[in-house]
């Protein structure tokens, strides 16, 4: 059994929000084992989140997108074998599988490491490949705390939560040029709008977002609508809706997106990856939740507002709603606009509204009794 690891591989290839949630593990490990060599196995499209991170010594890139092309499978298998062989040559004494799926469990096993950590309740039979199983506390905890808990198996207790994302100067310059070109002077009034999510059930209706953007513009705010490559077509359709359009920041790298979000006064968003970027760089969030649980995956930390209507059927964690999607449709534009003003200090907060942190703490305390 390895008691003082020298060479650790973290397996966490996806998704965007989960990778961000796992970032604090890096500094905690480096702080406890200053001489340790840390490596990370990640999907190539998310590598921007950890490139140039001061705590990471090596990154192993997995070409996940290529596996969607059937014609490329033979060459992909060859590349995967090469990647596994490269990992084995590093002779990792410890592997921490934070993904918890069959493929990540297999990769941990093929690493040839003598110590392989993973969650006992991981999916797809991945625990079969671990030498040490992490047993989580019997209570509801946020995803960040779940990942941090993994290092307790190595005898580490640490309260620090560091979400370092390194943004190169060239990407900061790009963001500054974007702000100048779009005449966004007061960045405290710049509000990032993120109306997308992979699950349809996580999406607040787009017509509500359109109304919110128009209202923000009319009140002197600077809304910036963001989107990735997959949302480009939808955004093009939206552009014709506005007589006074917002700024559009579409298809840019994760580092540039992070740089923009870091400068903003606020983000309004569904439960999805960019929300976690905002929380990581300490940009306040107004998060609109429906089928998911903010106690598990809400914006981490203090200073955020989560708006969620209890409908009797949520959180259901369903990607398709068998009912009328009331949990999202019942949240009004006026409610979200009021929360924006509240977070920007332009309206007194409502005493009856709990922050997501307070609400989740109440839930945990309730489970203890």
Q: Using alpha carbons, select from 164, 150, 226 the residue that is nearest to residue 191.
A: 226
345: helix, coil or strand? coil
pLDDT of residue 162: 96
Average pLDDT over all residues of the chain: 90
pLDDT of residue 354: 47
% of the chain residues with pLDDT over 90 = 78
Q: How far is CA 72 from the centre of its chain?
A: 29
Phi-psi region of 141 (alpha: psi -120 to 50; beta: other; left: phi over 0): beta
With cut-offs at 50, 70 and 90, classify the pLDDT of residue 67: low
pLDDT of residue 350: 58
Q: Among 43-52, 74-83, 96-105, 303-312, which is the least confidently predicted range?
A: 74-83
pLDDT of residue 75: 65
Check: pTM over 0.85? Answer yes or no.
Answer: yes
pLDDT of residue 65: 64
Question: Strand order in 132-134's β-sheet?
Answer: 58-62, 37-43, 7-11, 94-97, 116-119, 132-134
Residue 160 to residue 157: CA distance in whole angstroms: 9
pLDDT per residue as tens digits for the range 329-361: 999 999 999 999 999 987 765 543 444 555 575
Q: What is the mean pLDDT of residues 318-337?
A: 93
With cut-offs at 50, 70 and 90, classify the pLDDT of residue 137: confident
pLDDT of residue 158: 86
Q: What is the mean pLDDT of residues 168-195?
A: 96
pLDDT per residue as tens digits for the range 218-274: 999 999 999 998 888 889 888 889 989 999 999 999 999 999 999 999 999 999 999
- Check pLDDT > 90 for residue 4: no
Q: What is the mean pLDDT of residues 207-222?
A: 96
More confident residue, 273 or 152: 273
At a CB cut-off of 8 Å and minimum separation 6, what does 309 contact? Answer: 290, 326, 327, 330, 331
- Check pLDDT > 50 for residue 317: yes
Give the domains, in start order, of the chain with CATH numbers.
7-154 (3.40.50.2000), 170-368 (3.40.50.2000)
Torsion of CA 326, 329, 333, 339, to 10 degrees: 40
pLDDT of residue 368: 40
For 237, the token pair is: 């359709």
* Phi/psi at 276 (5° precision): -75, -30
Q: What is the mean pLDDT of residues 99-111?
A: 95
pLDDT of residue 74: 64
pLDDT of residue 154: 86
Q: Which helix (H) or strand (E) holds 239?
A: helix 232-239
Contact 92, 7 (CB under 8 A): yes
Q: Using alpha carbons, select from 208, 41, 26, 5 the residue that is nearest to residue 113.
A: 5
Q: Which helix (H) or strand (E) holds 181?
A: helix 169-181
In angstroms, what is the C-alpha Rg of the chain?
Answer: 21
More confident residue, 21 or 231: 21
- Check pLDDT > 50 for residue 328: yes
* Phi/psi at 153 (5° precision): -65, -25
Q: Which helix (H) or strand (E) holds 29?
A: helix 24-32
- Check pLDDT > 60 for residue 66: no
Q: How far is CA 215 from the centre of its chain?
A: 28
The DSSP bridge partners found for residue 226 are 249
Phi-psi region of 303 (alpha: psi -120 to 50; beta: other; left: phi over 0): left
CA distances from 72 to 45, 66, 68, 77, 120 (A): 18, 7, 8, 9, 34
With cut-offs at 50, 70 and 90, classify the pLDDT of residue 365: very low
Residue 94 to residue 105: CA distance in whole angstroms: 13
- Check pLDDT > 70 for residue 83: yes
pLDDT of residue 138: 76
């Amino acid at each position: 059994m390895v008691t003082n690891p020298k060479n650790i591989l973290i397996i966490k290839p996806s998704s965007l929000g989960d990778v961000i949630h796992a970032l604090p593990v890096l500094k905690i490990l480096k702080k406890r084992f200053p001489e340790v060599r840390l490596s990370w196995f990640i999907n190539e499209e998310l590598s921007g989140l950890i490139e140039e991170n001061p705590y990471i010594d090596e990154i192993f890139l997995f070409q996940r997108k290529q596996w969607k092309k059937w014609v490329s499978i033979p060459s992909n298998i060859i590349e995967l074998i090469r990647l596994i062989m490269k990992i084995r040559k590093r002779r990792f004494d410890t592997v921490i599988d934070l993904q918890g799926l069959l493929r990540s469990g297999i990769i941990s096993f093929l690493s040839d490491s003598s110590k392989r950590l993973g969650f006992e309740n991981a999916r797809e039979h991945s625990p079969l490949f671990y030498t040490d199983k992490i047993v989580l506390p019997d209570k509801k905890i946020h995803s960040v705390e779940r990942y941090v808990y993994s290092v307790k198996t190595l005898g580490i207790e640490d309260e620090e939560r560091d979400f370092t994302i390194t943004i190169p100067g060239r990407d900061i310059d790009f963001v500054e040029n974007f702000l100048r070109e779009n005449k966004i002077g007061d960045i405290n009034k710049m509000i990032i709008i993120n109306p997308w999510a992979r699950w349809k059930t996580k999406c607040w209706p787009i017509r509500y977002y359109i109304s919110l953007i128009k209202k923000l513009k009319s009140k002197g705010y600077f809304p910036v609508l963001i989107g990735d490559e997959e949302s480009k077509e939808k955004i093009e359709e939206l552009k014709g809706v506005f007589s006074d359009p917002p700024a559009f920041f579409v298809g840019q790298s994760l580092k540039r997106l992070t740089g923009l979000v870091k400068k903003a006064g606020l983000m309004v968003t569904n439960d999805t990856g960019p929300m976690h970027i905002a929380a990581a760089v300490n940009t306040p969030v107004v998060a609109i939740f429906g089928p998911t649980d903010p106690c598990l995956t809400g914006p981490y930390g203090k200073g955020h507002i989560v708006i969620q209507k209890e409908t009797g059927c949520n959180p259901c964690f369903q990607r398709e709603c068998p009912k009328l999607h009331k949990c999202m449709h019942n949240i009004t534009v006026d409610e979200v606009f009021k929360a924006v003003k509240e977070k920007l200090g332009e309206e007194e907060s409502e005493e009856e509204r709990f922050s997501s942190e307070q609400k989740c703490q109440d839930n945990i305390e309730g489970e203890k009794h």
